[in-house]
Amino acid sequence: MPASHPENPFFAASDLPYQLPPFQLIRTEHYRPAFERGMAEQLAEVEAIAADPAPPTFENTIVALERSGQILQRVAAVFFNQASSDTNAEIQTIQSEISPRLAAHSDAIHLDSRLFARITALLDDADGLDPESRRLLERYHLDFVRAGAGLSEEQQARLREINGELSALSTTFQNNLLEDTNASAVVVDDAAQLDGLSADAVAAAAQTAAERGLEGKYVLTLVLPSGQPALASLTDRSLRERLYRASVQRGANGNEHDNHVIAARIAALRAERAALFGHPDHATYVLEDRTAKTPAAVHDMLGKLTPTAVTNAQAEAAKLQEAIGDAFELRAWDWSFYSEQVRRATYDVDAAELRPYFELERVLRDGVFFAAGKLYGLSFTERPDLVAYHPDARVFEVFDEDGSAVGLYIGDFFTRDSKRGGAWMNSLVDQSALMDTKPVVLNNLNLVKPPAGEPALMTFDEVNTLFHEFGHALHGLFSRVTYPTFSGTSVLRDFVEFPSQVNEMWAVWPEVLANYAVHHQTGEPLAQETVQRLLDSQIWGEGFATTEYLAATLLDLAWHELSPGTTVDDVAEFEARALERAGVALETIPPRYRTTYFAHIFAGGYGAGYYSYIWSEVLDADTVEWFKENGGLTRQNGDHFRSTLLSRGGSVDPMEAFRTFRGRDPQIEPLLERRGLTQ
């Protein structure tokens, strides 16, 4: 081990470029000691702040808190990324042990009355602070209040118990889901049953089977949402049904990985915690610190969307039944397949036939990176000399137009049994002028990995997902704030999806699409008329897409508008009644996520917040209109978006940042038009 590194690589800042964690040195046995030392060190730092006999100042209290816990920050960033991206039994054991302890650690800081008294005293005399510093002080005070600093000792004691149990349950929910998702993969004996899948998809299924010791068979793995991509292509209806049922039963199979009881317990504990703060339910508690402010505001917006979305979905269902004829009645596992048939017949667009034009490397370099270069002046250089946390993860150095360094971007694009489902962005190093750090961010996707030497071909939805997640990455890379608390994507939850959704627009921008949509074998560009048909076809299926999303959103709210003391004994019945009351109980359109695999709300940070995607899409659709009105893919436009919004992180009020960018409050009409909800 190099002399510059201590016995544990987390004990000192990395000496690699941009403080990239030294993954080549990190071993599983390093995590527990680093967490132990990190928590102990931060508690000692906090004790020194709280016990300081000197009067509180912004420097000796708030800035000191910002500087505290550096070992803990380093190990947590790496560990929880691995827990999501490349877990194993030992990592899961550590996560189960450490998560409740981290919750208790956070409580020990936030429930320290001496610390809270110092922060409160500063808030009473905040004159002279610059705007970002004043906002940081206000954020600290609010965080302490919302963490229970103002509660009685008895209430705080119960709060600590609730937080510890919630942390453990969320970890168990996530681990159960990963195990059950892997176990629920559909094994196919005969390749003939895979008719409709592309040759590369069949090869990938065979490779997955071989990796699982099932030579001569084929394995269809599951992605996180209810809808599985293969459902759009498989001609074998019985296999479609098997795949669909495997998907929607995850976490609900009555085995050791069942999530029914866990989900209900999480919801009950959150309701009880909200009551400690004087709120009628968890949703009210959460939304108080969001741009939406109240559940009523969210329901008001959703109420404008739901009836038309369901009407459109029912009209789509009628068209699908026409395509089926009298052979059988449309069922949920038929929807994607016949939707593609209708799309192909109406718009002459075959999603499967487009995949050869969307090869990962071209999409990444000539699409995602190209758009970022045109709009923001960025350039990307792959750094194979820098080791990431998994062989599939690739490291790129990012430069500004003037050649100055921006940070590092890590792309981890392929699925594996050790990776949770979905797609996401993480930060390994947060940008901060105070800490003199530049950002290190990563994107995870779950593309099926092709056999060695074969190209990775993407669906258009997967292309869109890559552009979306890269929008989060840009939010992190462009951060130019002083304090770590405000860095990058550290904004209110119902604002965080906005920049990433905006970045999706460049996937279909003519100049960008023409640059990456090239046949991987022939080099032939995707024909302009095909492009136009693709764009025209995007409105088809919006009834389904909006309805499945709204169903999940309304299910989330139902769980988190439960009154304290409410017990849910039958989760399936509760879910069914919630969807019925909300007007989205369509047999052929399940929620995008059902309760037992709704990781966003039970294992992530979206509890009572899944509405954030469409709430942010109001801002997104309005912003897309601004770009179109102002010339689109130009450096001037990019600089304006970057300087007024992307670079500000949480250092300004998010809606103030939007108004600075847009010149006015957002309008909902562009979203309604985009989703075909203007009737």
Active-site residue numbers?
A: 469
Strand partners, 425: 443
Strand partners, 219: 187
Which residues have a Cβ under 8 Å from the Cβ of 290 and sit 6 or more positions away?
Answer: 492, 493, 494, 609, 612
For Cα atoms 203, 209, 214, give the angle at the middle one, nearest 5 degrees.
135
What single letter denotes the amino acid at residue 10?
A: F
Compute the chain's Rg from CA coordinates.
25
| CA neighbours closer than 13 Å in the CB half-sphere of residue 388 | 27
Q: How far, in Å, CA of 134 to CA of 487, rounded? A: 16
- Long-range contact pairs involving 652-660 (C-beta distance under 8 Å, separation at least 24): 652/131, 652/132, 652/135, 653/135, 654/291, 654/491, 654/492, 654/495, 655/291, 655/495, 658/498, 658/619
Q: How far, in Å, CA of 157 to CA of 152, rounded? A: 9
Strand partners, 12: none
H/E/C letters for each residue in 304-332?
HHHHHHHHHHHHHHHHHHHHHCCCCCCCH
Which residues have a Cβ under 8 Å from the Cβ of 399 and sit 6 or more positions away?
Answer: 378, 379, 380, 381, 405, 406
According to DSSP, the β-strands at 405-414 and 424-429 are: unpaired
Note the residue count of the chain. 679
Q: How far, in Å, CA of 625 to CA of 645, rounded? A: 16
Which residues have a Cβ under 8 Å from the Cβ of 162 and sit 6 or more positions away?
Answer: 269, 272, 273, 276
For Cα atoms 91, 204, 229, give the angle at the middle one, nearest 5 degrees.
85
How is residue 284 written in tokens?
């009210």
Q: How far, in Å, CA of 5 to CA of 13, rounded? A: 9
What is the number of other CB atoms lying within 10 angstroms of the CB of residue 668?
16
Residue 118 and residue 50 in contact, taking contact as beta carbons nearer than 8 Å: yes
Q: How far, in Å, CA of 502 to CA of 627, rounded? A: 10
At 425, which helix (H) or strand (E)? strand 424-429
First to last CA, the chain: 66
